[in-house]
Amino acid sequence: MISLELSSIQQKDVDRAWLARAIAGYVAQGKVIDVVETSRSLFNSTPFNTGIIPPSSGSEPSPAKRNLSVKIQKSAKSKAFEADIAEKMKAYFDKGMVAAAKDLHISTRRASHIAAMYGIKFASRVSAAAKLEDLAFVPKIRDLILEGLTQDQMCAKLGIGRTTLKRIAGQNGLRFRSKENHARDLVLVDRIKAIRDVGCTRAACARKLEINPKVLLRLIAEHEIDFPVRGDLLEAA
């Protein structure tokens, strides 16, 4: 790294003076100093020693862009790897690209690139097979939500990604809850059962707990609470 401190620059004056004398003596002997133009990089052909670059005034043309005509060739090993992945991805026609990427231990971006390069297509999630596969997860996800597991813990238990988990939950009316909300629901469930046991109606239960009747209905349904309907809850709502 080149320091811009004045003291550091002044310390190099001696070296610069010596170098100037050495160059003058070399040239005085009739020798010639050849200037070799070295390219900055593969994608920038501008030489290093093309003169002094003036400070930018904001009106200069934009710097040279990457030369897109220069392509780095893939190694034989990389080509063989992608061909092998492409062959395995064909078995994921119904499961989808995300599942293929997860099982084959590659990123979804690379999976998409390989699929496009080899013309691999995946079934739409609206297909009958995909719908049946999603529906099989619904009761499992509902039970894990009631257990208070986090989304990461659910994914680990079910062997699916978070994107798939959120998609299935959203399409089937399942709502994730924080640990605080889950703990609050459990307290309400115990109180609902206690109020039910003393003979209160659902409407009276909602009033005693100071909760919306719809929240009461949700907790009764989710936790399968046996709370007889007496016809007055809808009137209260």
86: which 2 tokens?
């492409």
pLDDT of residue 49: 56
Cα→Cα distances 56→22, 46, 53, 59, 119, Å: 33, 17, 9, 8, 47
Secondary structure class of 103 (helix, strand, coil): helix
pLDDT of residue 97: 83
Hunting for tokens 């929240």 — which residue is that? 215
pLDDT of residue 236: 47
The pLDDT of 62-80, averaged and rounded, is: 71
pLDDT of residue 54: 54
Whether the pLDDT of residue 58 is over 70: the answer is no
Which candidate, 126, 226, 132, 214, places its Cα nearest to that of 175? 214
pLDDT of residue 56: 53
pLDDT of residue 59: 54
* Greatest CA separation for the chain: 115
pLDDT in tens, 72-123: 778 888 889 999 999 998 888 877 888 888 889 998 889 989 999 999 888 7
Q: How confident is the model at residue 237 (pLDDT cuts 50, 70, 90)?
A: very low
Across-strand partners of 41? 44
State the first-to-last Cα distance of the chain, in angstroms, to the nearest integer.
72
Per-residue b/e over 45-70, b at no fewer than 16 CB within 10 Å?
Answer: eeeeeeeeeeeeeeeeeeeeeeeeee
99: which 2 tokens?
């599942």
Q: How confident is the model at residue 191 (pLDDT cuts 50, 70, 90)?
A: very high
pLDDT in tens, 142-189: 899 988 898 999 999 998 888 889 888 888 888 888 888 888 989 999
8: which 2 tokens?
């550091």
State the Cα–Cα distance between residues 47 and 70, nearest whole angstrom.
Answer: 17
pLDDT of residue 178: 85
pLDDT of residue 126: 63
pLDDT of residue 48: 55
Q: 12-26, 47-61, 187-201 — which is least confidently predicted?
A: 47-61
Hunting for tokens 């004398």 — which residue is that? 21
pLDDT in tens, 15-44: 888 888 888 888 888 887 776 666 555 556
Full 3-state SS string of 176-197:
CCCHHHHHHHHHHHHHHHHHHH
- 112, 97 in Cβ contact below 8 A? yes
pTM of the model: 0.41
Whether the pLDDT of residue 4 is over 70: the answer is no
* CA-derived radius of gyration, the chain: 35
> When comparing pLDDT for 206 and 131, which is higher?
206
pLDDT of residue 209: 92
DSSP-assigned states of every residue in 197-221: HTT--HHHHHHHHT--HHHHHHHHH
Full 3-state SS string of 114-164:
HHHHCCCCCCCCCCHHHHHHHHHHHHHHHHHHHHCCCHHHHHHHHCCCHHH
